[in-house]
Structure 1
């Protein structure tokens, strides 16, 4: 961003990141390479720990493949350790929700193999729905056409998108006006919950520096469902570089994506 390289070691404060985007800065991102993935995993192997790595969606990045390559190389070097790399087919707090639930399984006493099997069986139950405030950021990332971005800006059209079963970002609707786009996330939840309607008690929600809008969605959901756990956080810089300020993303466990 603005000629400066940032990583997990020196991320920008979130507020500064989005303020700079609002002023016209155009951040770009690069996927993790196998060397980076190796550097992350190997210290745990040296400490005689096994590793279950739940990776960012292969439908959106090559990071999963980099982790897979690193895992295969390290497995040869550490034959007494177990390394499992899973494609989450998820992103942002959708991936976070999957990790959160996998950790709960671990705390219940499940083995790593049992947790890995649970992740594989339930990763497509992690529902992602979101909307953005400015289509130009999606245009820059190749998600919508220039015409769509220009016309959408003029007519105040807001897209509603989700992550599909292949882990790819797909538009699923569009509405006119910000409030309607936020309510669309709530409406889609009922459609996606299916048989999970009576058991849904946890939602994760992330936002591109627009906490009030995210809280609006949470409040509307709580009017309809007995939600006990809400985790709210910013959309981080890596994904925020493509979605922009004003993004609101909702994640929950449902029957289908």
Structure 2
């Protein structure tokens, strides 16, 4: 059986220590602001803490998907090792990253007709995508085949639940996730919406609550109601430089549930641009996603 590598992109928001330990190659999105361009490379080029501090000070970043050349070079380095590639990709409903990867894939196939590159759109982002990468790595280490891992992800990706709350609605407005009128009204009324990534891989608001503590409590209620087989699950929390609230969310969950482990990491620039400082997100496997209000 031909060897293969699990590949991803920087929207996965996995800790760089894990990426380096598992030797995972990934494509880098870019983030530009204040006349500078940075690679979103999981905190190496631009530290998340500095990024969110810059946003607090008024910087307005723009993010871009990786170029086809970025993908081509990364793909080629794997193909040259005579390995197939399984790319676990950020949702096409959130980024055009898959388009660049597809262009690069065809470039590689033209040059290496026997190469095998499979792109799997997991219809989520941040640590929801990251948990899928971790599961794929675990399966590979336990002897699962290329096809078995793809089948698992395609079968289970609608069970990856992703929920987020934000502290500053202006970033959602800039990213087109919220109308200007709704943002202004929400700020005046101290509304902290709960958002999800729906079955089409797009962000949608589902609940409006007042106050930060209430929004964190609501995230706990959601996971308690929707998680499946918690004792055998690693769940994940990402945050926009609000570690105390991430820890409070973890504590609230552990009071209600016994889980295998909890990963906490910064939200990276590609996702954090839209959530802003104080964004707080929760990812776990549970009931299939719903496109309506819960």
| TM-score class, shorter | over 0.9
Matched, 1:206 2:199: no
Q: Please, which of 207, 220, 233 is the counterpart of residue 186 of structure 1?
A: 220
Q: Please, which of 50, 56, 60 is the counterpart of residue 90 of structure 2?
A: 56
C-alpha separation in 2, matches of 1:163 and 1:150: 23
After the TM superposition, which residues 6-155 of structure 1 pair with which residues of structure 2 at under 5 Å, given as runs? 6-8=38-40, 11-155=45-189
SS of the equivalent of 2:184 reads helix
CA positional deviation for 1:164: 0.6
**Residues 150, 98 of structure 1: alpha-carbon distance in 2 compared, 3 angstrom cutoff:** same
Matched, 1:215 2:215: no
Q: Which residue is 2:6 aligned to?
A: none
**Residues 110, 237 of structure 1: alpha-carbon distance in 2 compared, 3 angstrom cutoff:** same
What TM-score results when the alignment is normalised by the length of structure 2?
0.83
Count residues with an aligned counterpart.
Answer: 255
Q: Which residue is 2:283 aligned to?
A: 251
- Contact kept, 8 Å, 2:230 with 2:260, in 1: the verdict is no
SS of the equivalent of 2:36 reads coil
SS of the equivalent of 2:37 reads coil
Unaligned runs of 5+ in 1: none
Unaligned runs of 5+ in 2: 1-32, 290-294
What TM-score results when the alignment is normalised by the length of structure 1?
0.95
CA positional deviation for 1:153: 0.9
CA positional deviation for 1:186: 0.9
C-alpha separation in 1, matches of 2:77 and 2:233: 36
Deviations along 1:30-76, one digit per CA (max 9) or x if unpaired, are 11232222122111101111110011100111101221222233123
CA positional deviation for 1:190: 2.5
- Contact kept, 8 Å, 1:206 with 1:234, in 2: the verdict is yes
**Residues 198, 62 of structure 1: alpha-carbon distance in 2 compared, 3 angstrom cutoff:** closer
RMSD of aligned alpha carbons: 1.4
Q: Which has the higher strand share?
A: 2
CA positional deviation for 1:181: 0.6
Q: Which residue is 2:3 aligned to?
A: none
- Contact kept, 8 Å, 1:161 with 1:171, in 2: the verdict is yes
SS of the equivalent of 2:193 reads strand
- Contact kept, 8 Å, 1:162 with 1:171, in 2: the verdict is yes
